[in-house]
Amino acid sequence: MQQGDTDPVAGLVPPLVVGERVSVLLTPVDGQPTEVLGFVTDLTDDLLTVLDRHGEAHEGRRREVAALRRVPLARGRRPQATPRDLLDALADRAQAPGAPWVTRITDLLAGQTPPASVPAWGPTASFGAVTARMEGEWVTVPGGDVTVWRAAAWWATRMGARSVQVRVPDDEASHAVAQALLAAGFTSLDGAAA
């Protein structure tokens, strides 16, 4: 099927890609119109699939897309203002000891290309040797590097996370790790500086 000029998906510039966050209005011929906010997980000449923050996949034929627009990632609250006892409890459940470094996911992922796929939906996901935990609006990552922090953020943002904390054990709190955290936009809640 060839798409006409009225195809909202084809009309996006630059072209829509899998991994982007969108708002889409689907108007199936034999059903109720449905508005969905989520991430594109599949895109073909005929189909569009969007995964919402509850993990539900919404699939529609391209001809059923009445409207579509890109939506930026949800901007979280000021993570530095989060009560320390809440962050410590999240870190305990994630088995992530160490000093807390925090940032908004939008700041960490600014200018980054969204991945086409992320680990499976669920409370935890592994990124190499690091297992991140998503809970509420937070993803907690025990150590790692900027590649791991961003991968965990992309995974967790699909479930509604808005902030990320990286926990760095004291024995790993080297100058290089602190520099990497600062360069990625993190703030130390213990006053550590590079």
**How confident is the model over 43-54, as pLDDT tens digits?**
999 999 999 989
Residue 1's pLDDT is: 27
* Residue pair 73/106 in contact by the 8 Å Cβ criterion: yes
The per-residue pLDDT for range 81-98, each reduced to its tens digit, is 999 999 999 999 999 998
pLDDT tier for residue 146 given thresholds of 50, 70 and 90: very high
Tokens at residue 16, please? 């829509």
**In 3-state terms, the chain is what percent helix, strand and coil (to 5)?**
25, 30, 45
Beta bridge partners of 101: 166, 188
pLDDT of 171 strictly over 80: no
- Over residues 162-175, mean pLDDT: 81
Please determine, for residue 138, whether its predicted confidence score (pLDDT) is greater than 80.
yes
Report percent pLDDT > 70 for the chain. Answer: 94
Q: End-to-end distance of the chain based on CA atoms, in angstroms?
A: 57
Instruction: Classify the C-alpha dihedral 177-183-189-192 as positive or negative.
Output: positive
Q: Measure Cα distances from 58 to 34, 51, 61, 105 in Å.
A: 9, 6, 10, 25
- All structural domains of the chain with their residue ranges: 21-70, 79-188
Q: How many residues does the chain have?
A: 194
Fold topology of 21-70: SH3 type barrels. (2.30.30)
CA angle 57, 164, 180 (to 5 degrees): 125
